[in-house]
Amino acid sequence: MYEIYCKLRDEKGVKDADVVRATGITKSTFSSWKNGKYTPKNEKLQKIANYFGVSLEYLRTGNVPDFIYSDDNVDFLIEVQRCSKDTEFVNRMKKYMSLLTNDKKSVDDINVKGKKVLVRCDFNVPLQDGKITDENRLVAALPTIKKLIADGGKVILCSHLGKPKGEPKPELSLAPVAKRLSELLGQEVKFAADPEVVGPNAKAAVAEMKDGDVILLENTRYRAEETKNGDEFSKELASLCDVFVNDAFGTAHRAHCSNVGVTKYVDTAVVGYLMQKEIDFLGNAVNNPERPFVAILGGAKVSSKISVINNLLDKVDTLIIGGGMSYTFSKAMGGHIGTSLCEDDYLQYALDMMKKAEDKGVKLLLPLDNRIGDNFSNDCNIQVVKRGEIPDGWEGMDIGPETEKLFGDAVKDAKTVVWNGPMGCFEMPNFAHGTEAVAKALAETDATTIIGGGDSAAAVNILGYGDKMTHISTGGGASLEFLEGKELPGVAAANDK
């Protein structure tokens, strides 16, 4: 271990004396370690080993082990960075630590009085005959918008809606959103109906704005460059404003003009309240959870959650796997799964993850039984069988009653629970039992419960448990990538504090 330390110390240009000073250990303790008497129980010596292990792994792979998530260790890293002569390493690590500690400027850190503020919202709402059928995303955006109005900003809202694929489509216009926002805010939200988004209507409306006024631009995805993060459209958006606010977590995992590109041309870029809430809940859950920490993963495919499983096994106390992805694990263990969903290419991966859980001391819970059907229909014939005993011509559609109890008991004493993916085909009432049982168990626990967007969010809301959860993420794909430990472009683009 000391030899590894010496190699990394020299690579980073850090002196022994600097490390001793930064960690606060005595020279005699350091010498005893130097002489081969290294004891992992000595926390400060462990910090030395951890620090240099982190530095090497981050520079090589971009990944940082769990150790960094402790406040003490972040302080320690800062101290050692002061000693380091490796400027590139220091800058990269500072940036990474800023992301991990969610240290981004928000609307509370800026003065917008008299300034033009471009706000990227998530107004991707369902429309039917020009009417909004679910306005939750509009309501979620109101706190940030009201804050900016109250502070005297000139508020310019923008968002995408659907997938117009780079051309104007009247049925995907944001005009109905402007109308409904006007009603919700109690003041006019002027709609700039430019097919090119930043056109004469938008420019004229912005030029005439008074403090506290609000306008809404047309669907940003009317422009083909939007999803390609093109410079021209990014510059056009930036030309409208003095300050940029990103409050659209649902697109934070994408680098588009309206959430990332624009920040290259605006000095002040911060996050809104909705974005901050997402970062706080998901960030704390993954990086600094109150334990016991339980993660529940469901959904159809193992392949879509490979990185999530791998990353969470380094963090959780218990990992629960249900839904369609569980049949790949069942088959990997030699079980018979009939015509159930299965990814044969990931059978070895499933076994590898089970071994990793065992090595890490993580409790990995898989279904004990399943509700199965003889065809993919709510009205099919149904029976309950033990895991791995699904007959030919039948497929797994939900977890069974024994599993419901197993999973429910696992979250009873948890302090933090993250759930991403349903336990079965919850859209069919006969196969919603497992998902509802898990939702009910979460509703009855005292834990911080975080629902990772997408189908999970839809399930808890449809089943009537939405108001019982601590936090329901507004971004399915973004929350999944957050759980993978990935850097989200939309978050990274905001100014650090």
Q: Which residues are catalytic?
A: 137, 301, 454, 477
- The CA angle 110-111-116, to the nearest 5 degrees, is 105
Amino acid at 194: D
- Using CA atoms, how far residue 469 sits from 100, 183, 185, 346, 421, in Å, is 24, 28, 27, 32, 15
Distance between CA atoms of residues 491 and 104, nearest Å: 8
Contact indicator for 363, 318 with CB cutoff of 8 Å: yes
What H or E segment, with its residue span, contains residue 475? none
φ/ψ of residue 389, rounded to 5? -125, 35
Distance between CA atoms of residues 57 and 9, nearest Å: 14
DSSP one-letter code for 429? G
Neighbouring CB atoms inside 10 A of 19's CB total 23
**How is 295-318 classified by DSSP, letter by letter?**
EEE-SS-SGGGHHHHHHHTTT-SE
**How is 185-247 classified by DSSP, letter by letter?**
HTS-EEEE--TTSSSHHHHHHHHT--TT-EEEE--GGGSTTGGGT-HHHHHHHHTT-SEEEE-
φ/ψ of residue 105, rounded to 5? -70, 145
461-496 burial, b at 16+ Cβ within 10 Å, e below that, comes to bbbebbeebebbbbbbbbbbbbbbbeebbbbbbbbe
Helices 43-61 and 71-83, axial angle in degrees (round to 10): 70
φ/ψ of residue 307, rounded to 5? -65, -35
Contact indicator for 115, 46 with CB cutoff of 8 Å: no
**How is 318-368 classified by DSSP, letter by letter?**
EEEE-STTHHHHHHHTT-EETT----GGGHHHHHHHHHHHHHHT-EEE--S
Neighbouring CB atoms inside 10 A of 4's CB total 12
Amino acid at 400: G
